[in-house]
Structure 1
Amino acid sequence: MEILIKVSQFILSLSLLIVLHELGHFIPAKLFKTRVEKFYLFFDYKFSIFKKKIGDTVYGIGWIPLGGYVKISGMIDESMDTEQMALPPQPWEFRSKPAWQRLIIMLGGVFVNFVLGIFIYIMLMYAYGEKYLPNENVKDGVWVQDSLAMNLGLQTGDKVLTIDGEKIKKFNELTLGFVNGNNFQIERNGLVIDKEIPEDFISQLVDRSKDAGPVIAVRYPFVIAQIQKDSLNAKADILPKDIITAVNGYPVLYYDQAKSEIAKYKGQNISITLKREKEIKEVPVKVSNYGNIGVVFGGTSYNDLEKLGYYDLANIEYSFAEAIPAGWNKSVKTLTDYIKQLKKIFNPSTGAYKGLGGFISIGSIFPSEWSAEAFWNITAFLSIMLGFMNLLPIPALDGGHVVFTLWEMITGRKPGDKFLEYAQVTGFILLIALLLFANGNDIFRLFK
C-alpha cells in the first residue's frame, strides 16, 4: 500500500507538471496562430491510451510515461517529421514565424515551470508557514555518531557556524550545505576552527547504507522508548518516556553523556535518576558487561524536545503579502542549491554522479502517507528542477531550440534544417543515455 501511495503521488505530480509545461508552449503557439497538431501527456509510440481531435489538434495520453509533448507544425522536434519539413513553409507553421515569436513559444514551458514552482511555494508559505529548528538554537552543539560526520572532522558538541562563509539558518539544512559546500567553520570549546569538506563527500554519502541514520543530529535527552524484555533490568521501576537525568549522581543532559557515563560501570550495580513527568525517581539498575542497561532510546520529535525545554523552534506564520517574498526566496534557494549539486555531478572526482537517480529515486521522495504539504513541496521542487533542466542548451530540450533561435536573432542567419535534424538526433541520444544511466543507478542501488 505504501508503494501504491508513493507511485500515485509521483504520477499525479508528474502529469500535472507535464501538462502545464506543454500548455506553456501551446498557448503562445495558438496566440501566434501556429498550428499545434498534437498535445500529449506521455509518449504515444505506435498507439495511444486515449486520443481525441478537436479542431487542428489531437489531444491524447500515451502509454510511455517518460514525459509529454506538443507537436507544432513546421518544427524539428522529437517527432522527427522530416516529410513535413521537406514541403514549402506554410503561414501557420513554426518555421514561418518571426524569430521573437518562436523564442517565446520555446520559452513558454520553462516559464510556466518556474512560475508554477514560485506560486506553489508562496501558497505553502501562506497556508502552512514555516516551522524549523534554528541552527543558532542548538546551543550545546551537534551529536556526531556517523562515520561520515567524523570524516568531516566533526565531534559531538561542535557548533557548525558557517558553510562556504554563509551562516546556516536552519539546522536541517546542514547536510545539504555539506553536499553543496567546499569548506565550513565550527566552534569547539570556545575556539573557532576552519575545516575543508572532502571532495568525495557526496560519493561517501551515496555509498553509505540506506538504513544509516542522519549524518548530523541534534543532541537528544536519554528518553526511554522501550525496556527490553530479556534485559537485566526488565523488572526495574523504569517506564517508557522516563528521562535519565543523572547516573550514580552525576548529572547528564543528553543521551551521549548518559551512554558514556553508564559504560564506565560495566558489570556493576548503579543508580540512575529518572524524570517521570513532574516526579524525580532514583532507580537501582544493573549495567551489563557490554555497558548498557537494556533499554531502547528514542521516539522523540522536535516538538517533544521543545516541550521538554531543550530547543526553541521557530514558528513563522505569513500573511498573503508576506508569503510572496518568502515563497520567492524559497524558490531562489531551491534553484541555487540544485545548480550547485548539478555542478558537482559534472565533476567526476566528487562521485556525485553516483547519486544521480531516475524515476525510482524521484518517486521515493514522496511520503508513504498522503500529506498535502509534502506533496506540494515536492511538486514545487520538481517544477523548478524541470524548468532549469529544460533550459539547458542541449539539442532536443527547449534550451537547445532557444540557443539556435538566439543565434539566428543575433547573426541574422538561420541554422539549416539538416543541421537542426542532426542536432535533434544528437540531443535525443544524449538524453536517452542520461535516462538509462540515471535509472540504471536506481536499479543498482536496489540490488545493492
Structure 2
Amino acid sequence: MVRLNRRQALRVMALGGTALATAACGSPLASGLAGTPLQPEQVKFWNLWSGGDGARAQTIFERYRAAHGAGSLEATTLAWGSPYYTKLSLSIVGDRPPDVAVCHLSRLSNFARAGLLTELTPQMLAGAGIDGTQFDASVWRSGLVGGKAYGLPVDIGGLVLYYNTEICGRAGLLDNGRLRPITGEAAFRAALKAATGAGAKWGLVSPVIADPSSNWRIFDTVYTQMGGPPLLGDDGTRITMDDRTAAESLRWLRELTAAGLSPDTATDVTSVSLFASGQSAFLIHGAWQVPTVTDAEVPFSLAPIPQLFGRPAAFADSHTLVFPRTDQDLRRALGFAKFFLENTDVWAQGGALPVYRPVLEGDWFRGYEPVASTAPTKDIAVYDPPAWYAGAGSAMQTLAGSQVALARQGLAGPDEAVRAIRDQLAGYAATPSPL
C-alpha cells in the first residue's frame, strides 16, 4: 500500500476532488498501485473514456498494437471525473504512474503546478518529431502553464448548436440547406419563435435538471458573451465575477423558459431525446452528442454557438496527453502520443474537433460534415479559469451550475443565485491551495 504524508494526501484530494479513501478502496490499478511487473517495452496509458469515446479510443489502440506488437500497449480505463483524477494523482505521488495519461486541459495547470507532470521542452518534443506549431495555435496557447508545455492537446469539445434541418427549412431559417447566420439575442429569439410556428413543440432544448456541469457550460457561455470577466482570478484566490452581468445572464436564460421557448425540466438525456425525436428545432449541447443524434436518424446539422451578445464565446474543454513526472526515458511514451494524434481522424467521429493540424487541416476532416462546420468554436473557446477547485467535474462547476439550474427553473431569483454562487465559492477562494 502506498503511504502518503499529510501534504501528499492533501494534494491528492485537491487534484481529485474526492476523498482519498475512495481511491484507496478502489480496484487494483494496472501498472500502478497494485505493483504489477513493469515491461519496459510497453506503454502504459490511463484514460477516462467509456461508451462511444472508449470504442473510438480502442480502435486507435488496436492500430498501435498492430504497428508495434500485441504487448506494446496496456490501456487502462478508469471512472470519469474526480475518481479518475484522484487515482492519477495518487499513482504519481506513490511513484507508480502510467507512462501517459489523459487530463482535461481545465485540470492541467493543477497537476503541473503541483509538480506532478513532466515539462515537455522543445528539445524533448523534437526528438519525437513533435512541436507546438503542429497544433491549433489558440488551443496550444491555452494549454501552456507559465509559458511551458506540460501536455499535448488532442481535441476541443465545446458547446455547439444542433439544428433540425426540416423544421428550420419550413421556418425559413436556412440558406442552401445551412442555417443562416444568427447574430444578436433578438434574432435568436425570433428564430426560436419561427421554429415553433413551423411545428416544433420547443424552439430550443438544453439540459437543466440534475446536470450542474451542463448548466455551468451554458451560463459561462452567455456570461462571457455579455462581457463578464472570468469568475475567478489569481489562480482562484479571488472571486472576480461581475455580479450584475452574472445576474443578467441568468435572467436571460430564465426568460427563454418562462416564454415557453425552452423547457425547464429537461435532463441531459431528455434534452437530447427531445431534439432527436423532432420535438425541438434547436439543441445546445456538447459536440460529444453527435453520435447519439446521428444514430437517431433525425435530419440535423451543426453550427457554432451564435454570437448573441457583445463577444463571441462558447464554453469548451480539451483532452490532453500528459506525462507524469519520471526519471525514465519518454521517447516511447511520446511516440505513442504522436501515433494517437496522427489517428485523431478516428477520434473526431465522436464530434470533437481534432487540434493536431495535419488532421484538422487535412482533406478528410475538411469534408467531414457536419462536424467540420463547428471548427470556428476553437477560436471562441472559453476554458475554466485556473484554480485548484475548478475544471472538469470540479467543485466550482457543481456549485455554480446548481445555482444556475435553480435560476433557470424560476426556483431562485437571478440576484439570489449569484449571491449563493459567490458565498459558496468564497470558502474555496479563501483556502490556500493544498497543491
TM range (shorter): under 0.3
Q: TM-score, normalised by structure 1?
A: 0.26
Q: Which structure: greater strand fraction?
A: 1
Q: TM-score, normalised by structure 2?
A: 0.27
Tell which has more relative contact order, 1 or 2 (C-alpha 8 A, sep 6+). 2
Largest Rg, 1 or 2 = 1
